[in-house]
Amino acid sequence: MDRFVLYLDIEHPLALLDRYKRSRHLRGMHRKSQIFRDLSGCGCLVQSFIWLDGSGLDDLPLLAIVISGNTTDWDRYSQAQLRQPYEAIKNPPVPVLGLCGGHQLVGKAFGGRVAPMRRLEPGEVDPYPKYRPGFFKEKAFTEVSVDVENPLFQGLGGSITVSESHYCEIKRVPSCMDVIASSRDCRVQAVAHREKPVFGVQFHPESYDADHTDGRRVLENFFQIAREL
């Protein structure tokens, strides 16, 4: 059987009760899964985290696991809901890459702490006032500094320009992980486990375009890492 990428959707089911939001979310997941198919050269299966059965992952012909972002605050998730995703991250059968909220989930799985970056200062403009008003957000293509040499950034320079859309960040980095990229406003833009093929990026590498292709290269590098293991 051919290998495939498991794209783990970690959006909370409560966020998808609205028909419009659910339709938009599903379209986005389909579009991103097609990107992963193209860049990995493999199939891609989208799976909600609530149906994840960690006991069977070792038996699947996986190339890699990519973990999606989410719009739901972490306090809405129960520990029971996160048990299986944590297990897949802490004992990965294949390389794992967390994107945005998935990056935060990677940090939480190893004991890190996630919280909003900060409150907006008086008079500071909110670039996206309909989402978590009052909090500072990174929302646009943003320059990120590559602080540590890592295969995830192979072929890229000392800084990359990638798409951001978040208001939380990893505040306490697990001792088993290294911070490998940062930005002016977000200290933890990317992490890598010191012993396991587990990575997280706070940005959205899948949201690249013709003028900003660094995200594409990050994904290509990740899938190359997966093929070589």
User: What is the pairing mode between strands 198-201 and 190-193?
Assistant: antiparallel
From the candidates 12, 25, 103, 204, which is the catalytic residue?
A: 204
**Contact at 8 Å (CB) between 186 and 169?**
yes
From the candidates 11, 164, 169, 206, which is the catalytic residue?
A: 206
The question of whether 100 is a catalytic residue gets the answer yes
The question of whether 206 is a catalytic residue gets the answer yes
The question of whether 168 is a catalytic residue gets the answer no
Kindly report the backbone phi and psi dihedral angles of residue 211, in degrees, each rounded to the nearest multiple of 5, phi listed first.
-95, -10
From the candidates 100, 164, 168, 186, which is the catalytic residue?
A: 100
Q: How far apart are the first and last CA of the chain?
A: 18
User: What is the pairing mode between strands 138-146 and 177-182?
Assistant: antiparallel
3 state SS for 15-49: HHCCHHHHHHHHHHHHHHHHHHHHHHCCEEEEEEH
Based on its alpha-carbon atoms, the radius of gyration of the chain, rounded to whole angstroms, reads 17
Kindly report the backbone phi and psi dihedral angles of residue 115, in degrees, each rounded to the nearest multiple of 5, phi listed first.
-160, 165
Other beta carbons within 10 Å of 21 = 13
Catalytic residue ranges: 100, 204, 206
